[in-house]
Amino acid sequence: MLAPFLKSIFEAGTDEAGRGCLAGPVTAAALILPKSFKNNTLNDSKQLSESKRLLLRPLLESEAVCFGVAHIYPEKIDEINILNASILAMHKAIDQLDPLPEFIIVDGNRFKPYKKIAHECIIKGDSKYLSIAGASVLAKTYRDAYMEEIDKEFPMYNWKQNKGYPTKEHREAIRTHGITKYHRKSFRLLPEQLSLAL
pLDDT of residue 193: 56
Q: Across residues 67-76, what is the average pLDDT? A: 98
Residue 169 has pLDDT above 80, yes or no: yes
How does 46-84 read in b/e, with b if 16+ C-beta sit within 10 Å?
eebeeeebeebbeebeebbbbbbbbbbbbebbeeeebee
Q: What's the CA gap between 169 and 179, in Å, rounded?
A: 14
Residues facing 11 on adjacent strands: 103
| pLDDT 10s digits, 122-160 | 999 999 999 999 999 999 999 999 999 999 999 999 999
pLDDT of residue 194: 44
Pairing of strands 66-72, 103-107: unpaired
Q: Looking at the chain, how many residues does it have?
A: 198
pTM: 0.94
Residue 198 has pLDDT above 70, yes or no: no
Q: What's the CA gap between 83 and 114, in Å, rounded?
A: 15
